[in-house]
């Protein structure tokens, strides 16, 4: 994206807010990021996945201007991060993996500093701090020292810091790390909310998190981009239609297998089966009919949704490693 | 410009949030007050050694001489956390991802540090100024001496600032800064064995010699420029260092 169309870039609804073109980054002889390109548009919540050491954090730091790429360019809202750092970074909110907090300041002091640093004028700082605190559920903590807050509240303060200047682009490196389930839920809701008007790039280890908050996913492995897809198109890849069914009085797998349109039956538990169906057939109707007629006691029937996990493992692991792997990643 | 002030004010606020700044001011003031008392006592009971010297020469110049050494001892503790701590706690990423240039960042930090040292200078200056209540001082010499101390502080701060960009350990930054400052201070002593030329160069580079001129009331613009060049050099080196770090970390 060139600098020429900066002026009207906010008028459009689906403009590209992050544009990463062929960036590489070397640490000495080691190439941490290798020729990665992607774009993020307004309204995108992009999940950024990869095993540890795949180059996620390096990529995010390059996009936010903390590191410089060895090769390639990054532009934020149309501004090149190296040629126009001030304009580019004014549109950027960044939450690093380790919260960038001054523990000896109070929440208000810290957020006021962040606001001033991001170029909010003195008269508007108080309003910006108030608004940001409200969005992150920090009401009533303004005068407390950050060092005395719990891990979850510290995480909220660092998210508040990233959104205080309502940037067009928000980059979050593992935003839900170290939070309890309620806090995780709240933060995810906040991210979804923010995603409506901003472009969000979010890295995480938690695959279900991507499925709940993101609409697009990219996977990076050994520094290279191996997948860039909208989540609702992910299953197209495998071309499968799999359901998970659980019965109180399970039939024999052979019985299920015999139904027309059932491709494979996988018994994954005492009462649970993974049934791969032919998308064109009425096999599911037949299964339901049989469970009613034969009293199999069907109590669970859900579309098999861990295709993201499978995709992830397929792309990031060799086949021989797959047996022991799922526990490590999820 | 605005960002420089924001970062400078932030630096000051954080310094006074920790007990370190308060304790440093208190200890420096206390130590120098003792010296002030001793010097005043010597002036009141003059020995032959002080013959022909006035109040300003004995008390003010003496106090500023000691102040220079005390400042050398405490500056490393002021500058050690500037970038080292930011890097260790990760807050440097907040600064790097904000719409401020590295120059603004370094100048802001420098401004904050020098402002703190100016407060220390003002507290030190109160002691000789209190003599005005009962006597006449050579205000020209006092002014030159205080300017000298300010310049000394500014150059120490720039050196400390640069060293804090080199490491993420505050203690390492403090020790290294102290070592470098002390070496620059005593540089001319080392020249005793070399050739005349070598000795002259070392004597010129010594931070001490230029300071001595000023506290004796000799205002030479070369001395002033010397400190400004030292400060500017280390500020530029800090900016380069941070820029290189983003590329070669």
d(CA B203, CA B213): 13
Q: What integer pLDDT is reported at residue B30 of this predicted model? A: 95
Q: Mean pLDDT, 10 residues at a time, over chain A (330 residues)?
A: 42 74 88 90 88 87 90 91 90 91 92 92 92 87 90 88 91 84 85 86 84 87 84 64 84 84 84 83 84 87 71 67 40
d(CA A160, CA A137): 9
Torsion of CA A44, A50, A53, A55, to 10 degrees: -40
Kindly list the distances between the CA atom of residue A238 and the CA atoms of A219, A245, A314, in Å, as whole numbers in the listed order.
Answer: 16, 20, 11
Q: Are B90 and A100 in contact (CB under 8 A)?
A: yes
d(CA B204, CA B29): 30
Q: What integer pLDDT is reported at residue B215 of this predicted model? A: 85
Chain A hits for B3, CB-CB cut-off 8 Å, are 117, 119
Q: What integer pLDDT is reported at residue B154 of this predicted model? A: 95
Chain B hits for A98, CB-CB cut-off 8 Å, are 89-90
Mutate to test the interface with B, among A83, A116, A144 (most CBs of B within 10 A): A116
- Residue A147 near chain B (CB below 8 Å): no
d(CA A39, CA A74): 10
Q: What integer pLDDT is reported at residue A181 of this predicted model? A: 85
Nearest to A197 by CA among A217, A175, A167: A167
Q: What integer pLDDT is reported at residue A153 of this predicted model? A: 87
- Residue B89 near chain A (CB below 8 Å): yes
Is the CB of A68 less than 8 angstroms away from the CB of B92? no
- What is the 3-class SS of B27-59, one letter each residue? HHHHHHHHHHHHHHHHHHCCCHHHCCCCHHHHH
Smallest Cβ distance to A102: which of B14, B96, B247? B14
Kindly list the distances between the CA atom of residue A142 and the CA atoms of A149, A184, B135, in Å, as whole numbers in the listed order.
Answer: 11, 21, 52
| pTM given for the model | 0.82
Mutate to test the interface with B, among A28, A66, A91, A157 (most CBs of B within 10 A): A66
Is the CB of B93 less than 8 angstroms away from the CB of A61? yes
Q: Are B78 and B170 in contact (CB under 8 A)?
A: no
- Residue B16 near chain A (CB below 8 Å): no
Q: What integer pLDDT is reported at residue B248 of this predicted model? A: 73
Q: What tokens does A199 get?
A: 């472009």
- Residue A116 near chain B (CB below 8 Å): yes
Q: Which residues of chain B have pLDDT under 70?
A: 49-52, 188, 190-194, 249
ipTM above 0.90 for this complex:
no
Smallest Cβ distance to B97: which of A65, A70, A109? A65
Contacts with A322 (C-beta within 8 Å, 6 or more apart), sequence order: A313
- Residue B10 near chain A (CB below 8 Å): yes
From chain B residues 18-47, the ones with a CB under 8 A of any chain A CB are 18
In B4-21, which positions are buried (b, 16+ CB within 10 angstroms) versus exposed (e)?
bebbbbbbbebbebeeeb
- Give one word for A208, left, alpha or beta, with left for phi > 0 and alpha for psi -120 to 50: alpha
Q: What integer pLDDT is reported at residue B175 of this predicted model? A: 95
Is the CB of A116 less than 8 angstroms away from the CB of B94? no
Q: What integer pLDDT is reported at residue B178 of this predicted model? A: 93
Q: What integer pLDDT is reported at residue A1 of this predicted model? A: 39
Is the CB of A68 less than 8 angstroms away from the CB of B246? yes
């Amino acid at each position: 994206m060139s600098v020429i169309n900066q002026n009207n870039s906010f008028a459009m609804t689906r403009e590209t807010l992050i544009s990463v073109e062929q960036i590489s980054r070397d640490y000495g002889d080691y190439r941490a990021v290798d020729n990665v390109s992607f774009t993020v548009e307004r309204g995108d919540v992009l999940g950024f996945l990869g095993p540890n050491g795949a180059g996620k954090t390096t990529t995010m730091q390059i996009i936010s201007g903390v590191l410089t790429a060895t090769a390639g360019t990054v532009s934020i809202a149309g501004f090149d991060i190296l040629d126009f750092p001030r304009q580019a970074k004014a549109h950027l909110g960044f939450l690093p993996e380790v919260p960038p907090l001054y523990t000896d300041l109070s929440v208000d002091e810290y957020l006021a500093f962040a606001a001033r640093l991001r170029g909010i004028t003195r008269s508007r700082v108080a309003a910006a701090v108030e608004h940001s605190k409200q969005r992150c559920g920090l009401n009533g903590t303004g005068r407390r020292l950050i060092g005395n807050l719990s891990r979850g509240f510290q995480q909220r303060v660092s998210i508040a810091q990233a959104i205080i200047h309502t940037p067009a682009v928000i980059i979050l490196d593992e935003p839900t790390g170290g939070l309890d389930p309620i806090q995780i839920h709240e933060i995810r809701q906040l991210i979804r909310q923010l995603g409506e008007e901003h472009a969000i790039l979010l890295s995480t280890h938690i695959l279900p998190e991507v499925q709940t908050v993101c609409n697009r996913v990219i996977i990076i492995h050994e520094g290279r981009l191996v997948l860039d897809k909208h989540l609702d198109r992910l299953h197209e890849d495998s071309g499968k239609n799999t359901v998970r069914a659980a019965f109180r009085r399970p039939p024999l797998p052979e019985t299920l297998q015999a139904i027309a349109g059932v491709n494979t039956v996988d018994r994954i538990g005492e009462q649970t089966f993974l049934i791969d169906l032919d998308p064109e057939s009425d096999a599911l109707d037949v299964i339901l009919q049989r469970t009613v007629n034969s009293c199999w006691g069907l109590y669970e029937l859900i579309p098999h949704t861990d295709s993201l996990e499978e995709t992830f493992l397929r792309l990031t692991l060799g086949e021989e490693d797959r047996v022991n792997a799922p526990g490590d990643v999820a | 410009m605005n960002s420089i002030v924001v970062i400078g004010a932030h630096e000051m606020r954080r310094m006074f949030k920790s007990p370190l700044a308060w304790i440093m001011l208190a200890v420096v003031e206390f130590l120098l007050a003792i010296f002030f008392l001793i010097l005043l006592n010597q002036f009141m009971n003059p020995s032959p050694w002080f013959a022909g010297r006035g109040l300003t020469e004995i008390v003010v110049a003496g106090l500023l001489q000691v102040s220079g050494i005390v400042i050398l001892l405490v500056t490393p503790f002021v500058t050690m956390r500037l970038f080292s701590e930011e890097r260790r706690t990760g807050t440097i990423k907040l600064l790097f991802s904000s719409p401020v240039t590295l120059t603004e960042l370094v100048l802001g930090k420098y401004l904050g540090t020098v402002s703190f040292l100016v407060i220390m200078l003002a507290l030190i200056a109160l002691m000789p100024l209190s003599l005005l209540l009962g006597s006449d001082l050579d205000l020209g010499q006092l002014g030159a001496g205080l300017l000298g101390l300010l310049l000394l502080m500014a150059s120490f701060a720039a050196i400390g600032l640069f060293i804090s960009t080199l490491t993420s350990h505050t203690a390492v930054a403090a020790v290294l800064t102290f070592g470098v400052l002390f070496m620059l201070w005593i540089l001319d002593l080392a020249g005793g064995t070399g050739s005349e030329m070598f000795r002259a160069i070392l004597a010129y580079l010594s931070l001490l010699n230029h300071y001595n001129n000023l506290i004796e009331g000799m205002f030479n613009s070369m001395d002033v420029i010397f400190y400004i060049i030292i400060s500017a050099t280390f500020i530029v080196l800090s900016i380069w260092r941070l820029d290189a770090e983003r590329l070669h970390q």
